């Protein structure tokens, strides 16, 4: 593996007596699309602002490539930012907004024009250079903000909730576009978001943050299939957590239910009290799989691609998705008794949070 | 209600009506009288008659050219000084004021709680020959042993600068205050040093405030007479002093009216040239 583009070593940031970022270490691989994911107040934006140079860490070091940048102001770092709600210069044309960074670096004349126009073309704004930002739609402003940062060919591009102000449809479209652009330009992107779906759609690797710390770091698949903690399991998608006690190298006895099998890898040597997690789409209505629970359907909601069931069991209410592969509803309806079953390989195990509650 | 519904396009005019009526009665009509008066001849004792006396304008320009020029000089210098003092002040309050912002703004407006005349009289005391300022300046040798501040152009310009400072500081403050702080971060993110970010982003975005402030200072300052009267000598008199004395002391109404119109015309011309130079969009933001 090459040297990481961004390295944070034991970084802590305090605001008065509030610890925003708590002893955080992180490597972001060169050329990757990296997401910092978490709820507001988890320290993700502070982390981004420290990489950008808008905040200085209270402790620890930040490296861009080989170079230590902690202490350097923003304008001396080879990093550019796409700000939340864009922060476009209202008094400058689209062209001058994009040219701003290049002009500060003394790029002039034809070279300047060529680079700005090429970048406007990449983001789909060719010919719009003379407009003012306020004459553009939200999506177009977003593209200007992106072009303004990317045109400088920074070592790292920081994106602070860049799609938050767009409507859902445009957001989905921009997610795919951003990923395509990142692939084309090959620059390392660090993306801050509270939207788990957005992070999973775009990022190669995601760090889930909580309370100023990284709760888990991995690919979207790893985080979703094998969350390390109940927090991560709850933050990424819907998960059913059932409490129990480890009863063997690959089995857990549920507190209010039967013994179920889990993979030894998922159990990972845990003993004592744990929680078994199963994603809603991995549970079958029926007894086709080794692990089974009896229950009664209490709610049913048709959501297009799938039907969502809430099933009351002895171990609590579980959410189940059933794909609508054939037309119409699936037959099961509220009040029906049913058996839920799942494969041991489809479940994961996390430490039980009950002790800390 | 139903009337307004049927004539919806009338609504804005109806809303404008009180203001327009007020302006019509108290601005346009007196202006008409003044224009009429400026073309009269005669004097207070025998009475005035409308005679298309264009000579009044000629006399105003020829006889008082020095006063006109001095008025614009003083007003321009005071405007520039007020700008130089106000900008850092407004900047500091807008970006560093924190929770003291409103209190600091109150301090800027505080002089208005005392009437204009009294404030200027206070300056007369401050700058007086026996006053502390002159004494200190004489002691440290900046002023000669018989040097004075009162009755100099310095005193007049200082008075005007002081009196109109809030009109400069407040619009600048407003334009800085409403600026999105992230724009400065964005500029620094794009390799602009603090100074460059100020020059390229903060300053251009505060121009509407600067333009408004310079107009609000320059226009009334050019017609001012209180400062010249109380802090200056007759050598420092401005066109306002002449108009005031012609109206109230010499009762030469036609000459005073003609001078008022010349002053108004020159100011309008200057404002038009200024607006053209900085761009009209700066006036509206």
Contact A100 B189 (CB under 8 A): no
A52 touching B (Cβ < 8 Å): yes
Nearest to A278 by CA among A190, A201, A330, A345: A345
Buried b (16+ CB within 10 A) or exposed e, A247-270: eeeebbebbebeebbbbeebbeee
Q: Is 80 exceeded by the pLDDT of residue A326?
A: no
Residues B34-47, mean pLDDT to the nearest whole number: 92
**Domain residue ranges of chain B, discontinuous segments joined by +:** 64-284
> Best mutation site among A81, A135, A146 for testing chain B: the one with the most B CBs within 10 Å?
A81
Residues A122-150, mean pLDDT to the nearest whole number: 93
Other beta carbons within 10 angstroms of residue B87's beta carbon come to 20
Nearest to A88 by CA among A11, A141, A160, A33: A141
SS3 B90: helix
Nearest residue in A to B282, CA atom = A91
Residue entry with tokens 């700000």:
A83
Residues A243-251, mean pLDDT to the nearest whole number: 92
pLDDT at A356: 41
Q: Does domain A238-356 have CATH number 3.50.50.60?
A: no
B193 touching A (Cβ < 8 Å): yes
Give the bridge partners for B239, in sequence order: none
Nearest residue in B to A152, CA atom = B190
pLDDT at B136: 92
A106 touching B (Cβ < 8 Å): no
What pLDDT digit, counting tens, does each position of B16-29 carry?
A: 999 999 999 999 99
Distance of alpha carbon B205 from alpha carbon B185, whole angstroms: 14
Residues A266-289, mean pLDDT to the nearest whole number: 90
Nearest to A65 by CA among A14, A119, A7: A7
Least confident of A134-148, A193-207, A254-268, B3-17: B3-17
Contact A75 B205 (CB under 8 A): no
pLDDT at B44: 87
pLDDT at A150: 94
> Best mutation site among B175, B179, B191 for testing chain A: the one with the most A CBs within 10 Å?
B191
Q: Is B245 exposed, middle or buried (0-12, 13-18, 19+ CB in 10 A)?
A: middle
B180 touching A (Cβ < 8 Å): yes
What pLDDT digit, counting tens, does each position of A330-356 carry?
A: 677 888 899 999 999 999 999 886 544
pLDDT at A317: 93
How many contacts does A have with B, using Cβ atoms within 8 A? Answer: 62
Distance from CA of A73 to the nearest CA of B (A): 8
Nearest residue in A to B196, CA atom = A104
CB A146, CB A101: distance < 8 Å: no
CB B149, CB B142: distance < 8 Å: no
Strands (E), A123-184: 156-160
| Domain B64-284 class in CATH | mainly alpha
Q: B279: which DSSP letter?
A: -
Residues A102-130, mean pLDDT to the nearest whole number: 94
**Domain residue ranges of chain A, discontinuous segments joined by +:** 6-225, 238-356
Contact A152 B191 (CB under 8 A): yes
B269 touching A (Cβ < 8 Å): no
pLDDT band at A328 (very low <50, low <70, confident <90, very high): low
B188 touching A (Cβ < 8 Å): yes
CB A151, CB A115: distance < 8 Å: yes
**B190: chain A residues, CB-CB within 8 Å:** 75, 80, 100-101, 104, 148-149, 152
Cα distance between the two ends of chain B: 35
Assign 3-state DSSP to chain B and report helix, strand, coil percentages, each to 5. 80, 5, 20
Residues A227-236, mean pLDDT to the nearest whole number: 91
Distance of alpha carbon A33 from alpha carbon A251, whole angstroms: 37
Residues B182-194, mean pLDDT to the nearest whole number: 95
pLDDT band at B280 (very low <50, low <70, confident <90, very high): low
Nearest residue in A to B182, CA atom = A87
B284 touching A (Cβ < 8 Å): no
How many angstroms separate the Cα of A45 from the Cα of each of A145, A214, A335, B186, B187? Answer: 18, 13, 46, 15, 19
**Greatest CA separation for chain B:** 79
Q: The complex's ipTM?
A: 0.84
Contacts of residue A161, Cβ cutoff 8 Å, sequence gap at least 6: A45, A84, A192, A193, A194
Other beta carbons within 10 angstroms of residue A73's beta carbon come to 13
Q: Is 50 exceeded by the pLDDT of residue A65?
A: yes
pLDDT at B106: 94
The region, left, alpha or beta by phi > 0 then psi within -120 to 50, assigned to residue A340 is beta
Distance of alpha carbon A95 from alpha carbon A116, whole angstroms: 7
Distance of alpha carbon B97 from alpha carbon A160, whole angstroms: 28
Element (H, E) at A15: strand A6-15
Distance of alpha carbon A178 from alpha carbon A157, whole angstroms: 12
Q: Looking at the partner chain, which of B191, B193, B204 has a beta carbon nearest the beta carbon of A101?
A: B191
Residues B57-82, mean pLDDT to the nearest whole number: 96
How many angstroms separate the Cα of B226 from the Cα of each of B115, B229, B257? Answer: 12, 5, 19
Q: Is 70 exceeded by the pLDDT of residue B160?
A: yes
Q: Rounded to 5 degrees, what angle do the CA atoms B253, B257, B258 make?
A: 120
Distance from CA of B208 to the nearest CA of A (A): 11
Q: Is 60 exceeded by the pLDDT of residue B283?
A: no
pLDDT at A167: 87
B185 touching A (Cβ < 8 Å): yes
pLDDT at A286: 87
Q: Looking at the partner chain, which of A81, A85, A90 has a beta carbon nearest the beta carbon of B189?
A: A81
Give the percent of chain A with pLDDT over 90.
Answer: 74
Element (H, E) at B41: strand B40-43
pLDDT at A210: 94
The region, left, alpha or beta by phi > 0 then psi within -120 to 50, assigned to residue A237 is left
Buried b (16+ CB within 10 A) or exposed e, B269-284: ebeeeeeeeeeeebee
Q: What is the rounded radius of gyration, in angstroms, for the C-alpha atoms of chain B?
A: 23
Q: Is 60 exceeded by the pLDDT of residue B285?
A: no
Distance of alpha carbon A156 from alpha carbon A174, whole angstroms: 19
What pLDDT digit, counting tens, does each position of A157-176 carry?
A: 999 999 888 888 888 988 99
Distance of alpha carbon A47 from alpha carbon A62, whole angstroms: 10
Q: Is 70 exceeded by the pLDDT of residue B282?
A: no
**A51: chain B residues, CB-CB within 8 Å:** none
Q: Is 50 exceeded by the pLDDT of residue A208?
A: yes
Give the DSSP letter string of A225-268: HS-SSHHHHHHSS--EEEEEEEEETTEEEETTS-EEE--HHHHT
**B204: chain A residues, CB-CB within 8 Å:** 91
**A104: chain B residues, CB-CB within 8 Å:** 190-192, 196
Residues A206-230, mean pLDDT to the nearest whole number: 94
Sign for the CA dihedral angle at B121, B122, B123, B124 comes to: positive
What pLDDT digit, counting tens, does each position of B199-246 carry?
A: 999 999 999 999 999 999 999 999 999 999 999 999 999 999 999 999
Domain A6-225 adopts which CATH fold? Rossmann fold (3.40.50)
Q: Which two tokens stand for residue B165?
A: 């400072």
Q: Looking at the partner chain, which of B190, B193, B197 has a beta carbon nearest the beta carbon of A80?
A: B190
pLDDT, mean over chain B: 92
């Amino acid at each position: 593996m090459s040297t990481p583009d961004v390295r944070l070593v034991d970084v802590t940031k305090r605001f008065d007596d509030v610890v925003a970022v708590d002893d955080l270490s992180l490597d972001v691989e060169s050329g990757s699309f990296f997401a910092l994911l978490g709820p507001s107040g988890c320290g993700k934006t502070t982390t981004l602002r420290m990489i950008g140079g808008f905040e200085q860490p209270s402790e620890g070091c930040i490296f861009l490539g080989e170079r230590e940048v902690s202490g350097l102001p923003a304008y001396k770092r080879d990093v550019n930012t796409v700000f939340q709600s864009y922060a476009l210069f209202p008094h400058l044309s689209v062209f001058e907004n994009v040219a701003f960074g290049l002009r500060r670096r003394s790029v002039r004349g034809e070279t300047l024009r060529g680079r700005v126009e090429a970048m406007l073309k990449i983001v789909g704004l060719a010919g719009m250079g003379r407009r003012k930002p306020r004459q553009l739609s939200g999506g177009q402003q977003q593209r200007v903000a992106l072009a303004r940062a990317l045109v400088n060919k920074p070592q790292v591009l920081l994106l602070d909730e860049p799609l938050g102000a767009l409507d859902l449809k445009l957001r989905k479209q921009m997610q795919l576009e951003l990923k395509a652009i990142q692939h084309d330009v090959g620059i390392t992107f660090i993306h801050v978001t509270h939207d788990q779906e957005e992070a999973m759609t775009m990022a190669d690797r995601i760090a889930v943050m909580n309370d100023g710390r990284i709760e888990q770091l991995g690919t979207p698949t790893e985080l979703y299939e094998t969350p390390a903690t109940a927090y991560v399991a709850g933050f990424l998608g819907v998960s059913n957590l059932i409490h129990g006690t480890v009863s063997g190298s690959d089995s857990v006895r549920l507190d209010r239910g039967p013994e179920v099998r889990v993979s030894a890898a998922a159990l990972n040597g845990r003993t004592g009290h744990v929680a078994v997690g199963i994603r809603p789409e991995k549970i079958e209505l029926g007894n086709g799989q080794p692990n089974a629970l009896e229950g009664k359907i209490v709610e049913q909601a048709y959501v297009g691609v799938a039907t969502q069931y809430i099933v009351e069991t002895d171990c609590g209410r579980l959410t189940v998705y059933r794909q609508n592969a054939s037309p119409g509803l699936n037959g099961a309806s509220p009040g029906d008794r049913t058996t839920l079953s799942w494969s041991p390989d489809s479940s994961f195990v996390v430490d039980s949070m009950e002790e800390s509650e | 209600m139903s009337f307004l519904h049927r004539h919806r396009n009338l609504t804005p005019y109806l809303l404008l009506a009180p203001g327009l009526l007020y302006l019509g009665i108290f601005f346009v009509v007196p202006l008409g009288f003044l224009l009429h008066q400026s073309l009269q001849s005669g004097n207070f004792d025998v009475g005035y008659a409308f005679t298309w006396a264009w000579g009044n304008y000629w006399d105003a320009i020829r006889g008082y050219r020095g006063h006109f020029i001095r008025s614009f000089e003083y007003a321009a210098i005071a405007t520039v000084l007020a700008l130089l003092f106000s900008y850092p002040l407004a900047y500091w309050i807008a970006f560093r004021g924190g929770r003291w912002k409103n209190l600091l703004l109150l301090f800027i407006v505080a002089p208005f709680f005392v009437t204009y005349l009294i404030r200027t009289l206070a300056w007369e005391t401050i700058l007086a020959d026996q006053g502390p300022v002159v004494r200190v300046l004489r002691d440290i040798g900046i002023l000669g042993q018989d040097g004075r501040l009162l009755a100099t152009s310095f005193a007049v310009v200082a008075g005007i600068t002081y009196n109109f400072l809030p009109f400069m500081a407040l619009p600048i403050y407003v334009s800085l205050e409403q600026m999105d702080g992230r724009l400065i971060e964005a500029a620094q993110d794009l390799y602009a040093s603090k100074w460059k970010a100020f020059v390229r982003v903060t300053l251009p975005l505060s121009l509407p405030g600067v333009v408004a402030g310079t107009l609000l200072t320059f226009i009334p300052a050019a017609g001012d007479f209180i400062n010249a009267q109380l802090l200056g000598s007759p050598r420092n008199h401005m066109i306002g002093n002449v108009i005031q004395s012609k109206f109230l002391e010499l009762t030469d109404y036609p000459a005073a009216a003609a001078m008022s119109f010349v002053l108004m015309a020159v100011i309008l011309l200057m404002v038009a040239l200024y607006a053209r130079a900085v761009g009209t969009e700066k006036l509206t933001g």
